[in-house]
Amino acid sequence: MTGPELKKLREHLGEALGRKLTVADMAKLCGLTADGGTEKLRNWEVTGPTPKVAGLLRILAMASEHYPILEKFDVFDRHDVPVKERAARRQAFREQIRDDVCKRLA
Interval 41-60: pLDDT, tens: 999 999 999 999 999 999 99
**Residue range 61-65: average pLDDT?**
96
Q: If pLDDT is split at 50, 70 and 90, which confidence band does 21 have?
A: very high
pTM score, whole prediction:
0.87
Q: Once rounded to an integer, what is the mean pLDDT over residues 10-28?
A: 95
Band the pLDDT of 81: cuts 50, 70, 90. confident
88/106 Cα distance (integer angstroms):
27
Please name which of 67, 3, 15, 8 lies closest in space to residue 41, comparing C-alpha atoms.
Answer: 3
The most distant pair of C-alpha atoms in the chain lies apart, rounded to whole Å, by: 49
